[in-house]
Structure 1
């Protein structure tokens, strides 16, 4: 499969940033590509289309129907019989069916009950279920359930898109985290290299002992090792990000080295994810897509229960047809000429129907328990996530102060070293603590932004970004 570079899709951004050595890919731009081109997002759209097709199929049960039955037998020159029966049926919502038909039968050996006038026999009538299948039957239940499936499909699509966007956001934030970590190691590798060069000059001038050059050289190697580890993590995170970047016709994209994340993402995460108001969930709890989906499933099971109750009723089917030999006008049909039938069927023990009904009731109880537990679970997860956000915010303030303090200590130690009052060992030690604090700060910012995304995911609103 042809692999294209995202660089070509960002030409407009490059044009406006020609003085920059690299091009930023913001989280908003990235999510725009994901929502528009990602195959799983497109796959989610098929859920709704599939359920709409099922609804169309269910409605087909109520389509009018034309039937023609022609049967003829001729043997050794004898016309045994000719039978023609054409019927037009119109199913209705309840257990009623309208029917009109035309019969024209003849023949030497025709069963007398099939005899018709010379010009045929017309009949118009009605078929109705007087007990079982009158107000609910499998045809009606299927259509009602298909309508619910269409609504369920829309909610399932929302939830699937919500999950994909959450994973995509986490991948971007992970890429940003490792990018910033890589830059931290890169800066301090440069510092270590510069420090080694200065100490070597001082050693040659007789101002510093040889052991300091060895100490500085060891520190440089450690920084180089840390930088290489950070680099491979950054490369892997970039490749993971590429999994979510596609263009039309299902063509994957590859991020070139020049593309970097937007370093202001962490500080702007509230604006990007619309999470400045975290009490939104309290006002729209009942409209959560997961809860609405469960409610629709419950309604589906209620329809199934109605159908099972219907099966407990006796089967009483009645048909009545007006007969006429010609149909010049509707008055041709008279109550004096008719054909009717009555069919009655009553199971004695109803064990199968009662068993089905009991199972339907148990499924309803099960969905009620699931709805109740889901509500509590969502509420607790929302509360826990909000507490996490508050905690990460406090940790971030502490870490910023720590970074500033360690930075001050490192600079102070370097001044003392230049005056001969400190050692390269103490500088390296202080610097290690400063690097650890900066990495902790980056990690905390990542967790803070990730938790913000988790909150929006729990709200079921990532797909509305």
Structure 2
């Protein structure tokens, strides 16, 4: 598949100190493309469409129905029978069905009970379930559950998008971390190269021994090795980021080398993710999509329980139909001409129905336990994540001071070295500690921003960014 360059899509230019121009991809721009074009995001939206189709299907159980049954038999010149039976049925919400029909039967060998007047027989009536299936039946339960499935689909869609955006944010932050680490190694490789050149000049002038040039050369090679390792990690992180970047028609994109992340992302993460305290907790915790999804699941099980209770009732179906040989107006139907029926069915032991009801009650107990457990688990995770964020803020202050202190020590050691009061070994040692502190600071900023995203994910709010 043809890959397109992201260079033509992201045009956020930032001037560098040397007046060169590089293309910067911010987290906001990146998330905008993920939300709009990522295939999994599009796939998530199909969940709602699928459940809406199921709801439409469930509503179909209440559609009016026309039935026509025509039979005819002739043999050796004899009209054995000819029968026409057409029916129009209107199902209603409760266990009541309205029905109108027309019959016209004739024939030499027709069953006498099927005889009709010459012009046929009209009937209008009603079919009622007087016990089982009156207030709830399979058709009603299916429609109620289908309505809940639509709501569940929207919540599942939210949770799926929530997870995808969290992964996307982590991937961007990972790219940023390796970009900053690469720059640190690049800067200190340049420093090591300049230091080696200066020491060689001092050696040629007779101010420094030959061993110092060797020490500086070894240090330069180590810096080059570290830079190469950092470079490959940075390249891999860019390809991982490309997995989340798509444009229309499911075309993937790749990031050109000129594209760089926004180095101010960590400091602006609260604005980007809208993670202020008022924004995070403006809604009740009860509105968490995961808890709402479990509540809908419980309501679904309650409908199933009602259906099982319904199955314990005896089946009592009653039909009553007014009859008329011709229909000029509604008065043609008289109470004197009618047809009715009563069907009663009662299982003796109800073991199957009682077993189904017991299972339905156990499932409800199980979902209650799951809701309680999920609520406590989410609350504890949120509290722990908030403590984690506070810790990263404190660690960041400590690391900033450490970086400043190590930077001062390295500069002092360099001055002492060129005054002949120190050694290249001590400078390298101090510099290693400075690099380690800077990398720790970068990692801490990455963990801080990542944990902010984790908090929004736990609250189920990433999909609203």
Q: TM-score range by the shorter chain?
A: over 0.9
Q: Closer, same or farther in 2 for the Cα pair 1:18/1:418, shift >3 Å?
A: closer
1:187-239 deviation digits (Å, cap 9, x = unpaired): 00000000001101111111100000000000000000000000000000000
Q: Closer, same or farther in 2 for the Cα pair 1:58/1:6, shift >3 Å?
A: same
Q: Closer, same or farther in 2 for the Cα pair 1:144/1:20, shift >3 Å?
A: farther
Q: TM-score, normalised by structure 1?
A: 0.98
- CA distance in structure 2 between the aligned counterparts of 1:138 and 1:76, rounded to whole angstroms: 49
1:233-292 deviation digits (Å, cap 9, x = unpaired): 000000000000000000000000000000000110011111121783485101010000
RMSD: 1.6
Unaligned runs of 5+ in 1: none
- CA distance in structure 2 between the aligned counterparts of 1:330 and 1:213, rounded to whole angstroms: 115
- Kindly state the Cα deviation for residue 14 of structure 1 after the two structures are TM-superposed: 8.4
Question: Contact 2:73–2:79 at 8 Å: present in 1 too?
Answer: yes
1:66-85 deviation digits (Å, cap 9, x = unpaired): 00000000111111110000
Structure 2 residue matching 1:426: 3-state secondary structure: helix
- Kindly state the Cα deviation for residue 21 of structure 1 after the two structures are TM-superposed: 3.2
1:154-183 deviation digits (Å, cap 9, x = unpaired): 000000000000000000000000000000
- Kindly state the Cα deviation for residue 130 of structure 1 after the two structures are TM-superposed: 0.3
Q: Which of 283-292 and 389-398 deviates more?
A: 283-292
Q: TM-score, normalised by structure 2?
A: 0.98
Match of 2:7 in 1: 7
Question: Contact 1:278–1:386 at 8 Å: present in 2 too?
Answer: no
Question: Contact 1:95–1:136 at 8 Å: present in 2 too?
Answer: yes
- Kindly state the Cα deviation for residue 352 of structure 1 after the two structures are TM-superposed: 0.3
1:102-143 deviation digits (Å, cap 9, x = unpaired): 000011111100000000000000000000000000000000
Deviating beyond 4 angstroms after TM superposition, the runs of 4 or more aligned structure 1 residues are: 11-19
- Kindly state the Cα deviation for residue 10 of structure 1 after the two structures are TM-superposed: 2.0
- Kindly state the Cα deviation for residue 152 of structure 1 after the two structures are TM-superposed: 0.3
- CA distance in structure 1 between the aligned counterparts of 2:176 and 2:91, rounded to whole angstroms: 62
- Kindly state the Cα deviation for residue 19 of structure 1 after the two structures are TM-superposed: 5.4
Question: Contact 1:103–1:116 at 8 Å: present in 2 too?
Answer: yes
- CA distance in structure 1 between the aligned counterparts of 2:275 and 2:17, rounded to whole angstroms: 30
Structure 1 residue matching 2:98: 3-state secondary structure: strand
Match of 2:46 in 1: 46
- CA distance in structure 1 between the aligned counterparts of 2:106 and 2:279, rounded to whole angstroms: 81
Structure 1 residue matching 2:33: 3-state secondary structure: helix
- Kindly state the Cα deviation for residue 20 of structure 1 after the two structures are TM-superposed: 3.8
Structure 2 residue matching 1:256: 3-state secondary structure: coil
Unaligned runs of 5+ in 2: none
- CA distance in structure 2 between the aligned counterparts of 1:17 and 1:127, rounded to whole angstroms: 86
Structure 1 residue matching 2:93: 3-state secondary structure: coil
Question: Contact 2:12–2:24 at 8 Å: present in 1 too?
Answer: no
Structure 2 residue matching 1:212: 3-state secondary structure: helix
Structure 1 residue matching 2:14: 3-state secondary structure: helix
- CA distance in structure 2 between the aligned counterparts of 1:232 and 1:45, rounded to whole angstroms: 36
Structure 2 residue matching 1:133: 3-state secondary structure: coil
Q: Closer, same or farther in 2 for the Cα pair 1:278/1:233, shift >3 Å?
A: farther
Q: Closer, same or farther in 2 for the Cα pair 1:417/1:12, shift >3 Å?
A: closer
Question: Contact 2:96–2:126 at 8 Å: present in 1 too?
Answer: yes
Q: Closer, same or farther in 2 for the Cα pair 1:392/1:266, shift >3 Å?
A: same
- Kindly state the Cα deviation for residue 44 of structure 1 after the two structures are TM-superposed: 0.2
- CA distance in structure 2 between the aligned counterparts of 1:162 and 1:434, rounded to whole angstroms: 38
